[in-house]
Amino acid sequence: WLVLHDLDAPEAVDQLREALALRQRWLSDDDRLVQVSRNNLARNLARHGRFSEAKALYERALEALGSDPCEVGMAVHNNLASLAMAQERPEVALVELKNAERLAELSLGEHHPRRGELLQNLAFVTEQLGDLQTAEAHYRMALALMQAAWGLEDPRTRECQQTLAAFLADHQR
């Protein structure tokens, strides 16, 4: 298996394609590890503006995963949301993040900190769409989940705390 230090580097595309091809040869095309490879390749392509290629890979991964809630599906939906935001389509991003958050709750549990990270993303998109009350609730829940799991000293928790503080300062009534 290929191990890459920077999956987002433009030069990683060939290696990511090779990793996908190897996994497809050794595993069934519907295997979760194949979907991880599809997701990694799609993420790289999206970061470099190759949106249609990325979207096709994400959609194929979701098709292969079916309705089974899992972390891979959660990651794919989260990355589809990032793709939508890069294309300035926040309404689509909102739908994808809701799907990702739902899968996180089902596959990881209600109190998992990765769900908090998704809620923070969801809060940002919700804020962009002007639903400030819902955005604040998402930011607060994200912070609570991260704080409970990682503590206040964790950089991810501190970042969430700072984001919530900035949100509140920007939107004080």
Distances (CA, A) of 109 to 68, 70, 155, 170: 15, 11, 22, 32
User: What is the average per-residue pLDDT within 91-96?
Assistant: 97
> Which pTM was predicted?
0.90
For residue range 110-138, list pLDDT tens digits in order. 999 999 999 999 999 999 999 999 999 99
For residue range 19-41, list pLDDT tens digits in order. 999 999 999 999 999 999 999 99
**Distance (Å, whole) CA 121 – CA 98:** 10
Residues with Cβ within 8 Å of 119's Cβ and at least 6 positions away in sequence, in order, are: 101, 138, 139, 141, 142, 145
> Counting Cβ atoms within 10 Å, is residue 153 exposed (0-12), middle (13-18) or buried (19+)?
exposed
First to last CA, the chain: 54
Instruction: Evaluate whether 8 touches 28 at the Cβ level (below 8 Å).
Output: no
Which helix (H) or strand (E) is 94 found in, with range?
A: helix 90-108
